[in-house]
Amino acid sequence: MNRRLEGKVALVTGGARGIGRATAERLAREGAKVAIADRDLAKAEEAAAQIGEGSFALSLDVSSAESAKAAVEAVLGRADRIDALVNNAGIVRDATLGKTTDEAWEAVIAVNLTGTFLMTRAVAPHMVARGSGAIVNASSVVGLYGNFGQSNYVASKAGVIGMTRVWARELGRKGVRVNCVAPGFIATEMTATMPAEVLAGMKQRTPLGRLGAPADVAAAYAFLISDEASFVNGQVLGVDGGLVLGT
Ligand code: NAP
């Protein structure tokens, strides 16, 4: 594999499984030292042990400002620098409008939206001080186009696109690029809970005729982090097999 991330240090939130795990693996294979940060430390340690290449595990709850700060300090203590932040951690609590409880609203906003803000706020000063860095955020096609039964999730993912554009302007001037990906339906534990007929419908509506794999999204993150994307800033990169093409 191309070693275009050689010498870089990356922090991947929610890196113990799914897209985060595939991203940690991809970045490590391309030469990065990866901090795999997740709520579940045991699972993050297992991932780090399997991935190797100098990767290491951290306990992190992105929805807590203290935890976000502590994780950034732990990476700096261990690796001395952070070149890339992948704001991947995310959750769903789906329900139609009338059935969305306060708890479901707050939980999704706390992780997906506030978590992305807290992690970026904690990492940015360090990148700005060094005059370089890349931040990539997890949005979703639904953040662009909406989705039935996902008020909280869609609000969070649309918010991530908005924050990406703000930070691309604010931090771009300081040498830090900020972009996001908008995956379509990717086969992970998150989508495994969706009804089979919904997933079959998604496949049918996707021109490439399949769900995405975590590795498809990981490859997009790796590109956006790499110096090959050195003039790409504030963008939303669709990774959806053409699902929303023309809609
Ligand atoms: P996943 O399989 O559910 O994995 C999410 C990971 O994030 C889990 O390891 C989870 O830990 C961790 N996490 C959750 N809350 C956290 C918190 N507060 N602090 C730290 N880690 C936390 O999800 P995925 O499908 O890989 O999705 C990854 C990202 O891509 C999410 O932001 C998601 O919204 C986005 N996305 C996914 C799809 C898709 O189709 N799968 C499509 C578009 C966008 P626990 O095991 O403890 O919960």
pLDDT of residue 181: 98
Closest ligand 1 atom to residue 89 Cα is 7
Quote the CA–CA distance of 163 and 130 in Å, as a whole number: 22
Question: If pLDDT is split at 50, 70 and 90, which confidence band does 26 have?
Answer: very high
| CA 168 / ligand 1 centre spacing (Å) | 23
Whether residue 13 has its Cβ less than 6 Å from ligand 1? yes
Res. 246: pLDDT tops 60: no
pLDDT of residue 186: 96
Res. 245: pLDDT tops 90: no
What digits encode the pLDDT tens for the residues 33-74?
Answer: 999 999 999 999 999 999 999 999 999 999 999 999 999 999
What tokens appear for 244 in the block?
A: 């929303």
pLDDT of residue 129: 98
Res. 148: pLDDT tops 70: yes
Choose one of 11, 12, 19 to mutate for the ligand 1 pocket test, by most ligand atoms within 8 angstroms of C-beta: 19
Backbone φ and ψ for 233, nearest 5 degrees, come out as: -150, 135
The stretch 130-134 carries a mean pLDDT of 98
Closest of 25, 177, 23 to residue 90, by C-alpha: 23
Whether residue 67 has its Cβ less than 6 Å from ligand 1? no
Res. 133: pLDDT tops 90: yes
The b/e string for 21-48 (b: 16+ C-beta within 10 A; e otherwise) is: bbbbbbbbbbbbbbbbbbbeeebbbbbb
Choose one of 111, 188, 203 to mutate for the ligand 1 pocket test, by most ligand atoms within 8 angstroms of C-beta: 188
Cα torsion 67, 114, 150, 247 to 10°: value is -120
Supply the pTM of this predicted model: 0.98
Neighbours of 74 (CB within 10 A): 17
| CA 123 / ligand 1 centre spacing (Å) | 20
* Fold (topology level) of 9-185+215-238: Rossmann fold (3.40.50)
pLDDT of residue 247: 56
| CA 91 / ligand 1 centre spacing (Å) | 5
**CA 221 remoteness from chain centre:** 8
pLDDT of residue 237: 98
What digits encode the pLDDT tens for the residues 155-213?
Answer: 999 999 999 999 999 999 999 999 999 999 999 998 888 888 988 998 999 999 999 99
